């Protein structure tokens, strides 16, 4: 029988919530500490590919996931100015090939599903990590509100600006990719764009897709080169004028979507070169905390989901945390590094290409090397 731990997960993003679900199901006492005062239900859309939806199917969450989002019929790549069709993906064929669906969500709806899998009280809100002190057999966590906690294992699932990572390895800001992403939602619109379409220009793109089965909410996300002149790498409010100034020469169908956009924000695309180690002592990193990537492949959340599953399996299988963390990193490093490199190149879905290595991966069964 595996040893059962007190585990502190820092960060209630999707990777942290899934890690807590996996660990609690394995019998560990798991608490999630989130700096925000409540679950953040605002945000934009997110595409989840078969390598992620397979996890939720195997956890018995497929019904909740299907109700929370939409399964598009087709994915299109089009030329930015003429609308010429560059590439089409029949989404139902993806499900047949990989045994799991492709699905789009509002981020808040997906996060809500994951949050509701956990017992009440598992997530403690308003807990911003201030300091963490490791002892031979446990870790002491101090929070900015004066609260404290003890744990046998700490999982840093606190994103690209990870405080856990800073404590373990020092302050090292993520790299600005040179591109920004405008994100927006369009609700209750008369617009009826085609399913899940990415419009490609030589140095820019616009991605448009529905986030609900009722097709009453459209997500817009873009990528374009732009200097970041602000003092930090936090998202900023933006406007329709900003969108039109950057993408005003795109196809008229794109123009209609841009003009209808609301709740617009501008995000710097941040990344890091692959680095090692991901752990120190009794603390380990997960998701964007250790391998942030650009959004071009739609695999940022997917890598966090896979990390959560593989890490939970390693903790459950190897009684020594140091060994568990080494096996986890060994099983995950090459894959996440390749995702980082390929996402940086931004060629994904522009043309037909081998997707088996991405979508065919099964975190539940991959060897723990």
**What residues act catalytically?**
209
Coil vs helix vs strand at 272? coil
Q: Kindly provide the residue ranges of all beta strands, DSSP E only, lying in 22-128, ordered along the sequence.
A: 29-34, 45-48, 74-79, 85-90, 103-106, 123-125
> Which of 152, 86, 3 lies closest to 349, judged by CA?
86
Contacts of residue 112, defined as CB under 8 A and 6 or more positions apart, other chains included, come to 39, 41, 68
> Which of 341, 340, 332, 337 lies closest to 279, judged by CA?
332
Residue with tokens 């956990």: 118
Looking at the chain, the number of H-run helices and the number of E-run strands are 11, 19
Cβ proximity of 16 and 155 under 8 Å:
yes
Cβ proximity of 195 and 181 under 8 Å:
no
Q: What is the number of other CB atoms lying within 10 angstroms of the CB of residue 357? A: 12
Coil vs helix vs strand at 28? coil
Sheet holding 175-187, edge to edge: 85-90, 74-79, 197-200, 205-210, 217-225, 175-187, 262-271, 236-237
Peptide bond into 28 cis (omega under 30): no
> Which of 281, 279, 331, 337 lies closest to 307, judged by CA?
331
Dist CA 143 CA 125 (whole Å): 11
Q: What is the largest CA-CA distance in the chain?
A: 63
């Amino acid at each position: 029988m595996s040893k059962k731990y007190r585990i502190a997960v820092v960060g209630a993003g999707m990777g942290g919530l899934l890690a807590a679900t996996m660990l609690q199901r394995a019998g560990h006492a798991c608490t999630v500490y989130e700096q925000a005062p409540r679950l953040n239900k605002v945000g934009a859309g997110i595409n989840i590919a078969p390598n992620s939806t397979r996890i939720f199917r195997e956890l018995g969450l497929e019904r909740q996931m299907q109700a929370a989002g939409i399964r598009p019929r087709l994915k299109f790549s089009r030329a930015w100015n003429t609308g010429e069709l560059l590439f089409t993906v029949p989404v139902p064929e993806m499900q047949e090939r990989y045994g799991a669906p492709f699905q789009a969500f509002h981020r808040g709806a997906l996060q809500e599903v994951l949050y509701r899998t956990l017992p009440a009280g598992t997530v403690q809100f308003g807990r911003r990590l201030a300091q963490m002190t490791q002892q031979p057999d446990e870790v002491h966590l101090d929070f900015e509100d004066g609260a404290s906690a003890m744990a046998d294992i700490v999982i840093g699932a606190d994103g690209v600006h990870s405080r856990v990572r800073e404590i373990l390895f020092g302050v090292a800001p993520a790299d600005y990719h040179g591109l920004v992403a405008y994100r927006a939602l369009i609700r209750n619109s008369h617009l009826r764009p085609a399913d899940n379409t990415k419009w490609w220009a030589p140095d820019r793109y616009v991605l448009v897709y529905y986030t609900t089965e009722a097709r009453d909410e459209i997500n817009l996300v873009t990528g374009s080169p732009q200097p970041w002149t602000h003092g930090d790498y936090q998202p900023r409010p933006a406007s329709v004028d900003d969108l039109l100034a950057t993408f005003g020469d795109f196809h008229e169908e794109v123009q209609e979507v841009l003009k209808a956009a609301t709740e617009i924000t501008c995000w710097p695309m941040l990344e890091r070169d692959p680095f090692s180690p991901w752990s120190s002592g009794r603390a380990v990193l997960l998701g964007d905390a250790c391998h942030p990537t650009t959004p071009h492949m739609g695999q940022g959340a997917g890598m966090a989901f896979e990390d959560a599953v593989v890490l939970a399996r390693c903790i459950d299988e190897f009684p020594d945390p140091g060994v568990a963390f080494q096996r986890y990193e060994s099983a995950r490093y090459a894959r996440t590094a390749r995702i980082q490199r390929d996402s940086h190149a931004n060629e994904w879905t522009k043309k037909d290409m081998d997707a088996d290595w991405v979508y065919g991966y099964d975190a539940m069964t991959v060897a723990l090397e």
